[in-house]
């Protein structure tokens, strides 16, 4: 498959490479010498990437298992959950008849933890942490991140955040239970609910540590992209993956600090008696002292992060998908520059739409109009991207392997979920749809499942780069079809629930006759969720099985890709390239050009050859 | 520790520091916007800021200037002056914190406590979180002093860069305070 044989490529780098005297100093070895510094406190971006990935997978399993448990309660309220007692202990209440039910407090705790874990730990750290770390230095031709030390700290802050959150699952009052958005008053008054006490304190500590991790990572990613590109790697020659990680890091760096401001104010309300977010509250008939605060203020601060956060999640997935589609369609990405401008436009617009989450929170309807308009404008760059993905694979020579299938699945999901966003973005329609299962369906499809698909595409595609072997294709295909069909089975029906007004975050609909005809639909959703969960376990098995038993990677560039990460040795050591650094002579998408199947970025231009899209 | 290509005039670590500034600005931007929103909602207690805050502002500005002179002395081979001014800047930084503390006491004395009114809460919160950022600068200066007094005097690229990082951070938190102070003065 590979046209340029391995040894020729080495010659390429030797002749055209750029000697940065990296290996003269031997600084690589001093922190790579033993097991602990190599695999645990590693500063090598390739190891850190795998640490993020495996930690993310751990959390994904926990977060997903939680959703199965609360779905079982919701879909089958009469069935006994007593069999979960060994795991959940007192949170399963068994009545005289021996029927075990999930305690309502813990139902809310599970919903909250599910959201927090998946959004932050899996789809932020696990996705952008993994692939930014792996690909930024490798695709740019850099030896490592700008500061490998801060990079290591970034992982360990994430790890610590995880430890604190994990611990909060086991305390006697339970973890925080007021929803992943942590609105006051439930989050501000320790006595408001059982999870609002220690559980919420730990939630705040954990997420503050998490923000530190994001900021340390982000500073590094941005600095690396702007400063450490190899010779010839102009901004307009960067693969779309890098553009996506770059803009993601900027979004994170500018929006997470605002969340921390909100957290500090929340901490003051909780511990020091201030009333930033609290006003005239009664608890159990007792008037509290708080006056003059506003819970809507917290919502503004939260969603100023919250909306960019959804793009922090989806942009890296978009970048990975663009790359995978182009490689496996054997065609240049369609409209490279339009793709870059769309990423930038989405990044910019992401900052001025946050109040579309608050149409029903009592914000001024005239101000809402402003947010409606900008929200709907986001559909434009989103549509540009969708169009370009479809035209990229149009009439391509498609290899329908696991990474490609997941990338195509991503496009499908992003369309389905994006369309419902346009309904929600209209503040008038949102009166009916807000806080119903329609919203749950919207964001799970467009963000949850789509981002997971982007991540899966990335894992299957770059797995050989990370572990030197391939994942099993049969298991991969079962994983893909099961997840795609299963995910639509779970979330499609939710739109109907939501249009009928079924509210989200309810423990039981037993008291609502109007919703009783949805009982079977709820059962169906629960069964689908359980099956999809089991299929993810198959993925995890495939992942670990393939590290040792997968097909070995025999050539450096098994996919016939053009980007630089495939020019390093199969066992790339510290510093990534053994000798000189490769230099870049073209954009990243020279597929099927002038009778050549593909031309890597480090191959010099032939005489009279016209550049791809890069220098128009 | 940096794996740089040494291609740029602007050192990557310096670059990273400036990106971190953007984050810090967003954080305080959030506080001050929340302040404006809350104030517009009414029910706002007006009071004058403690006079000590004027003094602390002068002190922190002086500290910045002195640290800058220490840096100039450092690169110009004036070892004694460099060390002296470094210590001086550090002491001024500490006195800034002490003065802020006295300012909070003055506020408390006129009846503005942490929880009585939201305007008061904001002043404590904003100056308090700012003080935390000053502590970061103090820590950096302690490291700088340790190096100044334990390592033989020598102007290397690495030490110059370290000094510059400390210096720029210190200027930044200093200007940040000026911004916050003027902001609260104007939006009472
Ligand atoms: C055309 C693009 C989109 C539009 C117009 C749009 C619009 C909206 C609106 C108006 C809401 C609030 C609904 C409500 O609470 O009543 C919403 C919720 C949400 N959207 Fe979107 N959206 C779009 C794309 C996306 C994308 C790409 C993502 C993520 C990658 C996303 C993630 C979310 C999330 C997480 C929520 C709900 C958060 C919560 O309440 O828990 N949306 N969307
Ligand atoms: Cu949004």
Atom 35 of ligand 1: nearest residue by CA position:
A443
Chain-centroid distance of CA A464 in Å reads: 21
Write down the pLDDT at residue A38. 72
Dihedral angle, C-alpha B30, B35, B41, B47, nearest 10 °: 180
Q: How many angstroms separate the CA atoms of A416 and A494, rounded?
A: 13
Name which residue sits closest to atom 8 of ligand 1, judged by CA.
Answer: A421
β-bridge mates for residue A282, sequence order = A287
Check: CB of residue A583 under 8 Å from CB of residue A141. Answer: yes
* pLDDT tens-place string over residues B10-53: 788 999 999 999 999 999 999 999 999 999 887 888 888 999 99
- What Å distances lie between residue A406 and A70, A468, A478, B73, CA to CA? 27, 21, 12, 61
pLDDT per position as a tens digit, A311-350? 999 999 999 999 999 999 999 999 999 999 999 999 999 9
Q: Are A219 and A153 in contact (CB under 8 A)?
A: no
Q: pLDDT per residue over A596-611, tens digit each? A: 899 999 999 888 888 8
At residue B62, does pLDDT exceed 90? Answer: yes
Q: Answer yes or no: is pLDDT of A272 > 50.
A: yes
Q: Taking residues B84-101, report their average pLDDT.
A: 97
Q: Which fold has domain A46-279+291-615?
A: Cytochrome C Oxidase; Chain A (1.20.210)
| Contact by Cβ (8 Å): A117, A207 | no
pLDDT band at A237 (very low <50, low <70, confident <90, very high): very high
In angstroms, rounded to a whole number, what is the distance separating the alpha carbons of residues A338 and B122? 44
Q: Is the CB of A443 under 6 A from ligand 1?
A: yes
As a whole number of angstroms, the distance between CA B26 and CA B33 comes to: 10
A 257-286 residues inside an 8 A Cβ radius of B = 257-258, 260-262, 264-265, 268, 272-276
Helix (H, G, I), strand (E, B) or coil at A71: helix
Pocket-testing residue among A443, A455, A494, A505, ligand 1, by greatest number of atoms within 8 A of Cβ = A443
Residue A349: its H or E element? helix A336-349
Contact across the interface for A262 and B31, Cβ inside 8 Å: no
**Token match 């008053």: residue?**
A185
CA distances from A11 to A24, A138, A552, A553, A565 (A): 20, 19, 24, 21, 17
What is the position in ligand 1's atom list of the atom closest to the CA of A180? 41
User: Tell me, what's the pLDDT at A39?
Assistant: 75
Cα–Cα distance, A259 to A157 (Å, whole number): 17
Q: Read off φ and ψ for residue A96, nearest 5 degrees.
A: -60, -35
Q: Does ligand 1 have an atom closer than 6 angstroms to the CB of A123?
A: no
Closest by Cβ to A146, choosing from B6, B16, B117? B16
Output the CA A482–ligand 2 centroid distance in Å: 29
Contact flag B3-A143 (C-beta cutoff 8 Å):
yes
- What is the arithmetic mean of pLDDT over A259-281? 94
**Where do we find the tokens 């690909």?**
A135
Interface of A with B in 142-161 (CB under 8 A): 142-150
Q: Which domains does chain B have, with CATH numbers?
A: 50-186 (1.20.120.80)
Put simply, the answer to whether B15 touches A215 (Cβ < 8 Å) is no
CB pair distance less than 8 Å for B125 and A265: yes
Strands (E), A572-615: 591-593, 596-598
Query: CA–CA separation, A409 vs A418, rounded Å?
Result: 14
Element (H, E) at B134: helix B118-150
The residue length of chain A stands at 616
pLDDT tens for each residue of A65-101: 999 999 999 999 999 999 999 999 999 999 998 899 9
- Binned at pLDDT 50, 70 and 90, residue A122 comes out as very high
Q: Which of A462, A457, A470 is nearest to A547 (CA)?
A: A470
pLDDT at A514: 86
Ligand 2 is an ion; residues with CB less than 5 A from it: A 307
Chain B positions in Cβ-Cβ contact with residue A275 (cut-off 8 Å) = 115, 118, 121
In chain A, pLDDT over 90 holds for what percent of residues? 82
Query: Residue B4 pLDDT more than 50?
Result: no
Which pLDDT band, with edges at 50, 70 and 90, does B9 fall under?
low
Nearest C-alpha neighbor of A580 from the set A136, A12, A4, A20: A20
pLDDT for res A539: 98
Residue with CA nearest ligand 1 atom 1: A379
Copy the structure tokens of residue A78: 């009469």
Please list the alpha-helical segments (H only) found in A95-183. Answer: 104-116, 130-140, 148-168
- Average pLDDT of the residues of chain B: 92
- Tell me what pLDDT residue A606 has: 86
* Segment 111-140 of chain B within 8 Å of chain A by CB: 114-115, 117-118, 121, 125, 129
What is the per-residue pLDDT for A572?
85
Work out whether strand A591-593 and strand A92-94 pair parallel, antiparallel, or are unpaired. unpaired
Listed in order, strand segments (DSSP E) in A265-354 are 282-283, 286-287
pLDDT of residue A612: 77
> What pLDDT does residue A5 have?
44
- DSSP sequence for B20-33: HHHHHHHHHHHHHH
Mutate to test the interface with A, among B30, B41, B108, B127 (most CBs of A within 10 A): B30
CA of A299 to the centre of ligand 1 (A): 15
Report the atom number in ligand 1 closest to the C-alpha of A179.
41
Asked if B114 and A274 come within 8 Å (Cβ–Cβ), the reply is yes
Cis amide leading into A185 (omega within 30): yes
CB contact under 8 A, A257 and B26: yes
Helix, strand, coil percentages for chain A (3-state, nearest 5): 65, 5, 30
User: What is the domain partition of chain A in residue ranges?
Assistant: 46-279+291-615
| Ligand 1 pocket, residue A345 CB under 6 Å | no
CB spacing of B13 vs A146 below 8 angstroms: yes
Mean pLDDT of the region A412-440: 96
User: Nearest-CA distance from A483 to chain B in Å?
Assistant: 38
Contact B34 A301 (CB under 8 A): yes
Count the Cβ atoms, other than its own, within 10 Å of residue A89: 11
Mean pLDDT score, A272-295: 88
| pLDDT above 60 (res A145) | yes
Q: How many CA atoms are closer than 13 Å to the CA of A149, on its beta-carbon side? A: 6
Q: How far apart are the C-alpha atoms of A228 and A242, rounded to whole Å?
A: 13
Q: CA of A492: how far to CAs of A442, A508, A529, in Å?
A: 9, 20, 12
pLDDT at A51 over 60: yes
- CA A71 to CA A94: how far, in whole Å? 18
Mean of pLDDT over chain A? 93
Q: Supply the DSSP string of A235-280, one letter for each residue.
A: GGGS-HHHHHHHHHHHHHHHHHHHHHHHHHHHHIIIII---SS--S
d(CA A489, CA A532) in angstroms, rounded, equals: 10
Please list every residue in chain B whose beta carbon sits closer than 8 Å to the beta carbon of residue A300. Answer: 34, 37
Mutate to test the interface with B, among A152, A153, A229, A261 (most CBs of B within 10 A): A261
Question: Which residues between 21 and 40 in chain B have a beta carbon less than 8 angstroms from any beta carbon of chain A?
Answer: 22-24, 26-31, 34, 37-38
What ipTM was predicted for this assembly?
A: 0.92
Report the pLDDT value the prediction gives residue A25, as an integer from 0 to 100: 59
Compute the average pLDDT of residues A479-489. 98
On the question of pLDDT at A420 being above 50, the answer is: yes
Q: Which band of pLDDT confidence, cut at 50, 70 and 90, is reported for residue B8?
A: low
| CA distance linking residue B8 with residue A542, whole number of Å | 44
For residue range A522-563, list pLDDT tens digits in order: 999 999 999 999 999 999 999 999 999 999 999 999 999 999
Nearest CA to ligand 1 atom 19: A443
Whether A421 is in the pocket of ligand 1, judged by its Cβ within 6 Å, is yes
| Structure confidence at residue A362 (pLDDT) | 85
Which pLDDT score, from 0 to 100, does residue A2 have? Answer: 41
CA A67 from chain centre, in angstroms, equals: 17
pLDDT above 90 (res A574): no
């Amino acid at each position: 498959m590979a046209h340029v044989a391995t040894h020729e490529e080495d010659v390429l780098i030797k002749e055209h490479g750029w000697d940065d005297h990296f290996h003269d100093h031997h600084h690589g070895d001093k922190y790579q010498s033993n097991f602990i510094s190599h695999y645990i406190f590693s500063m090598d971006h390739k190891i850190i990437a795998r640490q993020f990935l495996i930690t993310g997978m751990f959390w994904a399993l926990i977060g997903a298992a939680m959703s199965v448990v609360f779905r079982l309660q919701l879909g089958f309220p009469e069935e006994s959950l007593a069999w979960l007692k060994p795991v959940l202990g007192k949170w399963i209440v068994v009545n005289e008849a021996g029927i075990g039910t999930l305690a309502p407090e813990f139902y809310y705790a599970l919903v909250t933890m599910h959201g927090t874990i998946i959004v932050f730990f899996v789809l932020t750290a696990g996705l952008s942490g993994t692939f930014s770390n792996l690909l930024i230095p490798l695709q740019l031709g850099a030896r490592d991140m700008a500061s490998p030390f801060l990079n290591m700290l970034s992982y360990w802050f994430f790890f610590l955040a995880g430890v604190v959150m994990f611990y909060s699952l086991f305390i006697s009052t339970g973890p925080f239970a007021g929803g992943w958005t942590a609105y006051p008053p439930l989050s501000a008054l320790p006595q408001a609910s059982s999870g609002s006490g220690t559980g919420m304190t730990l939630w705040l500590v954990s997420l503050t540590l998490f923000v530190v991790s994001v900021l340390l990572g982000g500073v590094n990613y941005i600095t690396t992209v702007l400063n450490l590109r190899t010779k010839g790697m102009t901004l307009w020659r960067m693969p779309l993956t890098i553009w996506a990680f770059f803009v993601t890091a900027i979004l994170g760096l500018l929006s997470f600090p605002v969340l921390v401001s909100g957290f500090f104010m929340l901490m003051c309300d909780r511990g020091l008696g201030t009333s930033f977010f609290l006003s005239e509250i009664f608890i159990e008939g007792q008037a509290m002292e708080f006056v003059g605060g506003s819970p809507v203020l917290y919502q503004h601060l939260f969603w100023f992060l919250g909306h960019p956060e959804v793009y922090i999640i989806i942009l890296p997935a978009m970048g990975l998908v663009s790359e995978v589609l182009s490689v496996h369609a054997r065609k240049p990405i369609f409209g490279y520059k339009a793709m870059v401008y769309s990423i930038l436009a989405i990044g910019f617009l992401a900052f001025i739409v946050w109040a579309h989450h608050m149409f029903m929170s009592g914000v001024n309807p005239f101000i809402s109009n402003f947010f409606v308009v900008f929200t709907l404008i986001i559909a434009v760059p989103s549509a540009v991207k969708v169009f370009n993905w479809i035209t990229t694979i149009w009439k391509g020579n498609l290899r329908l392997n696991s990474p490609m299938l997941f990338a195509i699945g991503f496009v499908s999901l992003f369309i389905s979920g994006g369309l419902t966003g346009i309904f929600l973005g209209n503040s008038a329609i949102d009166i009916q749809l807000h806080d119903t299962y329609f919203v749950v369906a919207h964001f799970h499809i467009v963000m949850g499942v789509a981002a997971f698909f982007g991540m899966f595409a990335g894992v299957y595609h770059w797995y050989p780069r990370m572990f030197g072997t391939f994942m099993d294709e049969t298991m991969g295909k079962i994983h893909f079809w099961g997840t795609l069909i299963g995910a639509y089975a779970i979330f499609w029906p939710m739109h109907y629930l939501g249009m009928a007004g079924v509210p989200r975050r309810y423990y039981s609909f037993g008291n609502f006759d109007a919703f009783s005809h949805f009982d079977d639909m709820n059962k169906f959703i629960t069964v689908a969720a359980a099956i999809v969960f089991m299929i993810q376990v198959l993925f995890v098995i495939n992942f670990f099985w393939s590290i040792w038993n997968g097909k070995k990677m025999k050539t450096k560039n098994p996919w016939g890709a053009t980007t630089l990460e495939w020019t390093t040795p199969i066992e790339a050591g510290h510093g990534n390239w053994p000798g000189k650094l490769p230099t870049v002579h073209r954009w990243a998408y020279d597929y099927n050009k002038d009778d050549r199947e593909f031309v890597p970025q480090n191959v010099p231009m032939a005489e009279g050859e016209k550049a791809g899209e890069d220098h128009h | 520790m940096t794996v740089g290509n040494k291609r740029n005039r602007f050192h990557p670590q310096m670059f990273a520091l400036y990106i971190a500034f953007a984050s810090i600005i967003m954080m305080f931007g959030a506080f001050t916007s929340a302040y404006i929103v809350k104030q517009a909602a009414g029910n706002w207690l007006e009071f004058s800021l403690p006079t000590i805050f004027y003094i602390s502002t002068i002190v922190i500005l002086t500290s910045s200037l002195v640290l800058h002179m220490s840096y100039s002395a450092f690169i110009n081979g004036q070892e004694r002056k460099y060390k002296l001014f470094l210590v001086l800047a550090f002491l001024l930084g500490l006195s800034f914190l002490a003065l802020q503390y006295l300012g909070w006491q003055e506020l408390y004395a006129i009846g503005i406590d942490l929880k009585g009114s939201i305007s008061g809460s904001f002043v404590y919160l904003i100056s308090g979180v700012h003080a935390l950022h000053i502590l970061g600068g103090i820590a950096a200066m302690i490291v700088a002093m340790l190096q100044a007094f334990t390592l033989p005097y020598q102007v290397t690229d690495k030490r110059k860069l370290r000094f510059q990082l400390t210096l720029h951070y210190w200027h930044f938190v200093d200007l940040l305070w000026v911004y916050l102070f003027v902001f609260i003065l104007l939006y009472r």
